[in-house]
Amino acid sequence: MKAVLYDAPRSFAVHDVPRPSPGPGDILVKVLQSGICGTDLHIHEGNFFAEFPLIPGHEVVGTVEAAGSEVEGFVSGEAVAVNPNINCRHCEYCRSGRALLCPNLKGMGTNWPGSFAEYLTVPYQFAYSVEGIDPDVAVFTEPAACAMHGLESLGPRPGSTALIFGAGPTGLLLAQLLVHGGAAHVTVAAPTEFKLDRARALGVDETVLLDREDLGATVRKLREISGGGFDLVVEATGSALVGEQCVPLTLNGGTVLVFGVTQPSDRVSFSPYDVFRREITIRGSFAEINSFAAAIRALRSGRLRTTGLITHRFTLDDYGQALKTLQTDKSAHKIVVTV
């Protein structure tokens, strides 16, 4: 089969590799398409737990090609999305219901063969039926699940106000979940006007153009339109400089959510006295592991919309161009690779 194969960071090619065979508890998935996200750029550089050699890709929709002897609940040809985070189910964290903290976590496309290939095998417990959902919607299942976990981490109070820095696909999925999850008003701030247009089309209450050259001006505008700050502030850009604006924009008793992926060496400064005095909560939201079913229900119902998010399509042979487009093309939003 054809697959993107890295032998080291920044070193990849499209190869013919052996098609995997499902074990007794696995299903063989014929890939239809996979999304590229910012995490794939980190993996390209050798970060985010990447282990080489590696087939990347973790946002996948496909169909069941074959199943092992112990597989239950799937039929040949059924459309599926795959939860890429596979926990060991044996460690203290897994056994206490905190599977995402599993120290033995395997990530499809990170340290487990991923979906930028014609086929992949996965334990059947990590596959979910998306039969009847348009593949262009189902391909958002993994980022939608990450957004769902973000919503669960925030736990918005009814009537709260929220600010999201960043209008990437996952940020806009989280913004929609906040709109429907109890927040009375949701604002998105981002540096790209066409993404803000999409945010408004998807139901966000207010948008602000983020000026990276003058963050102070953006903060002043956000204070003005919010009347001083927000109950919930989400950093979804992966920028440490943007992250430094979050605590000052959070109202007393509010919550900051670190949702974007920064570099491991990045640092953010804030006043610990300010956090202490105003009882600010700072939380992280890393990936997801138990939110797939809820995300699929939201996508299937239409409550969580993806209209207009896909802007570019490439084939496996053009994977390098797809990465370059994500890195450099300001008109790119969600990019999918078709097989």
- pTM of the entire structure? 0.96
Could you tell me if 115 and 57 are in contact, meaning their C-beta atoms sit under 8 angstroms apart?
Answer: yes
Q: Which token pair is 286?
A: 């890393």
Cis ω on the peptide bond leading into residue 123 (within 30° of 0)? no
Pairing relationship of beta strands 185-190 and 161-165 according to DSSP bridges: parallel
The CATH homologous superfamily for domain 2-140+309-338 is Medium-chain alcohol dehydrogenases, catalytic domain (3.90.180.10)
- pLDDT of 98 reads 93
Domain ranges of the chain: 2-140+309-338, 144-284
Q: Is the pLDDT of residue 226 over 90?
A: yes
Q: What is the mean pLDDT of residues 206-233?
A: 95
Cα angle value 327/42/30 (rounded, 5°) = 90
Q: Give tens-digit pLDDT for 84-128.
A: 999 999 999 999 999 999 999 999 999 999 999 999 999 999 999
Q: Give tens-digit pLDDT for 270-316.
A: 999 999 999 999 999 999 999 999 999 999 999 999 999 999 999 99
Q: Give tens-digit pLDDT for 5-34.
A: 999 999 999 999 999 999 999 999 999 999
The CATH homologous superfamily for domain 144-284 is NAD(P)-binding Rossmann-like Domain (3.40.50.720)
Q: What is the mean pLDDT of residues 204-232?
A: 95
